[in-house]
Structure 1
Amino acid sequence: MALFGSHANLLGESPLWDAVRAWLWWVDIRRNQVLAADSGGVLQREWTFDRPVGAIGLAEDGLVAAFADGFALIDGAGGIHWLASPAIGAGAIRFNDGKVDRQGRFLSGTMQHGGQAPALATLWRLDHGGRAVRLVRGLRLTNAICFSPCGGLLYFADSLERVIRRHAYDRATGAIGPREDFFDCAAHDLAPDGATVDGEGRLWVAMVLSGQIACISPEGDLVALVDLPLPYPSCPAFGGRDMATLYVTTIRDSGHRLKSDLADAGRMLAISGLEARGIPETRFVPDNHIRN
């Protein structure tokens, strides 16, 4: 386990391995930034926008992004091309976590600052062509969005509820089935943030409050807890030449409850030797073509 690069984020999130460039992309939500570094941790991109970026995915020419208030493409020069601005609600609500599904659609959910009642956050799907479809209502802090290797299962969590949910996911349409409670984080005194899936279908989940990464089997059993040397891990992603390195973003100052004065807080970690390999990211397809 080692520090990756020298950059320290305030609120690092949404790491994403680009195998074509051999770069790791991620966002710093509080600084309104999208960043990329090569395999040695040297920064290659550092774009700053006029609003927060909650999550990103690879696109056929650049990135797809959930900005605070809508979906857009980011081209190779950092230019923004807006796709959809769905009605996510007024006040302290913004897009947060997100992932591209196995067929090239982008899912992202919103969050409420403070987690106030009633629960107004939502989960959305951005379809080919830029249409935004609301999938789930009644959330407070959407996180841990990821898909099974075949793409037929969707996982996500409301972090304040501390339960990872599972839904059947229609690969042709993007429709979801009824909720199943997959893993009770509260029963293990854990709080989920971002997540990814390996080639065997195991979930690797950032447990933000305990400073750990949890490995959960496809059957919903806790396989391992990996202790980290930095506080507040926010999201993991597999990458590297053989997809066997787990990169983890962390938080220095979320702007709310999560804050650390540790010298390396906010740095990124690269973890090897986990005997797991990730799945290359699917790219968002901004047209009507669906990959079956």
Structure 2
Amino acid sequence: MTKISIFHDEPCELGEGPGFDPLTNTVWWFDILAGRLFEKPLAGGEARMHSLGQMASALAVVDKERQLVLTETGLFVRDRSTGHTMMHQPIEADNPATRSNDARVHPAGAFWVSTMGKKAEPSAGAVYWYREGELRKLYGNISIANSICFAPDGRAAYFADLALNIVWRVNTDPETGLPNGEPTEFLRNTGSGGFDGSVVDADGNLWNASWGGSRIDVFAPSGNRIRTIGLPIPQPTCPAFIGTDSASLVVTSAYAEMDEASRLAYPDAGKTFRIEIAGKGRLDPQVRI
């Protein structure tokens, strides 16, 4: 039986961007709309909250001392010990109508990041590739980019548009993380819930948080759904494997857009969950800046 527990009980309006740093044995996640970054030692202890002063949604590990944080104005290098941040790479910094959203590091050390309209305006977002000081726009006219993740060998990338409820797959160069073909449709959701954040395990299976669907769905590389894990909240947002053995999953959630009756019906909405899984996940690599 799958064991599900609350990893952190402070609710986030829009919890997102969870991840794990094996160099420090620390789990992190964001409350995007509040501009808050949380970190919690996996070995135990209290979570710490850091106010970032702007919306932020994802983080990549540079080394033991530094992180690369994706915000509404671009990529910032953050010093873990002091919390000091410095602009590293502007991304749509001159467009106050957009903010950052989903992101993940390719096995080649490239950071795929995304933007979207602050009011989810249609086609206002994009997906970018960043590595070693170079930024390239990969895909535009995306409303709500999600599910950015990669095959273990670095030869494929996945990304979704929640507004269309489609996940695409595209071949990528394992040495650079750049696409080397055109995206093709991998999944299309015609049922309940939408494709939010995803992560790929060591066997190439895609684990997706179903926004509005109260579940994590696991899809084989063929696209067949092979497992479903029900959750006690309606809006899970993103999963990430944690632990040096990557045998646990942390899942963020949100209470955004829920009315008072729904909040009462789902008192754990917005909290961060831990799921013990059977099998081996996969940790994200360090980003190359």
Shorter-chain TM-score above 0.5: yes
Aligned partner of 1:290 in structure 2 is none
1:18 aligns with 2:12: no
Q: Residues 81-123 of structure 1, C-alpha deviation per residue, up to 9 Å, x if partnerless?
A: 2111134773531110111111111111111244434x12110
What CA RMSD, in Å, does the superposition of the two structures yield over aligned residues? 1.9
**What TM-score, normalized by structure 2, do the two folds share?**
0.91
Are residue 156 (structure 1) and residue 147 (structure 2) matched? no
Q: For 2:71 and 2:274, how far apart are their aligned partners in 1? A: 26
Q: Which of the residues 65, 68, 73 maps onto 2:72?
A: 68
Alpha-carbon displacement from aligned partner over 1:5-59 (angstroms, at most 9, x marks no partner): 3332221111101112221111111221111111255335321111011211111
Matches of 2:184 and 2:54, distance apart in 1: 34
* Equivalent-residue separation in structure 2 for 1:278 and 1:56 (angstroms): 19
Q: Which moved more, 1:247-256 or 1:276-285?
A: 247-256
Range with greater deviation from structure 2 (274-283 or 133-142): 274-283
The worse-fitting range, judged by mean Cα deviation, of 89-98 and 156-165 is 89-98
1:194/1:206 contact within 8 Å kept: yes
Structure 1 partner of 2:115 = 110
- Residues 241-278 of structure 1: per-residue CA shift (max 9 Å, x gap): 4211111001022699xx73432221111111x32321
- Which ranges of structure 1 fall in alignment gaps of 5 or more residues? 287-292
Distance 1:254 1:151, change over 3 A: farther
Tell me what 1:276 maps to. Answer: 279
Q: Residue 144 of structure 2 contacts residue 161 of structure 2 at CA under 8 Å; is this kept in 1?
A: yes
SS of equivalent to 2:213: coil
8 A Cα contact 2:194 2:210, kept in partner: yes
The whole-number CA distance in structure 2 between the counterparts of 1:6 and 1:102 is 32
Aligned to 2:201: 198
Give 3-state SS (helix, strand or coil) of 1:189's partner: coil
Taking the aligned partners of 1:260 and 1:199, their CA distance within structure 2 comes to 36
Counterpart code for 1:123: V
Q: Does the Cα contact within 8 Å between 1:5 and 1:40 map onto a contact in 2?
A: no
Q: Conserved in 2, the CA contact under 8 Å of 1:30 and 1:254?
A: no
Task: Return 85-94 or 234-243, whichever deviates more.
Answer: 85-94
Secondary structure (helix, strand or coil) at the match of 1:279 reads coil
Q: Does 1:244 align with 2:251?
A: no
The secondary structure found in structure 2 opposite 1:50 is: coil
* 4+ long deviations beyond 4 Å: none
Q: State the alpha-carbon separation in 2 of the partners of residues 183 and 203 from structure 1.
A: 11
Offset of residue 147 of structure 1: 0.5
Choose from 94, 100, 106 the match for 1:95. 100
| In structure 2, distance between residues paired with 1:16 and 1:268 | 12
Match of 1:45 among 41, 45, 48: 48
Name the CA shift for 1:43/1:132 in 2 (closer, same or farther; >3 Å): farther
- Give the Cα separation in 2 of the matches to 1:238 and 1:166: 21
Contact 1:253 1:260 in 2 (8 A): no
Alignment counterpart, residue 225 of structure 1, candidates 224, 228, 235: 228
SS of 1:260's equivalent in the other structure is helix
Matched, 1:178 2:185: no
C-alpha distance in structure 1 between counterparts of 2:185 and 2:273, whole Å: 30
Contact 1:4 1:41 in 2 (8 A): no
Q: Which amino acid aligns with 1:270?
A: R
The amino acid of 1:116's aligned partner reads E
Superposed CA offset, 1:132-158 (max 9, x none): 210101100011100111111110101
Q: Hey, what's the Cα distance between the residues in 2 that align with 1:174 and 1:4?
A: 32
Q: What code does the residue aligned with 2:121 have? A: Q
Identity among equivalent positions (%) equals: 26
In structure 1, distance between residues paired with 2:94 and 2:170: 25
Deviations 1:158-211 (A, max 9, x none): 11110110011112333212011011122x333011010111000000001111
Q: Which residue of 1 aligns with 2:91?
A: 86
What's the TM-score, normalizing by structure 1? 0.90
Look up the match of 1:289: none
Give the Cα–Cα distance (whole angstroms) in 2 for the partners of residues 108 and 20 of structure 1. Answer: 22
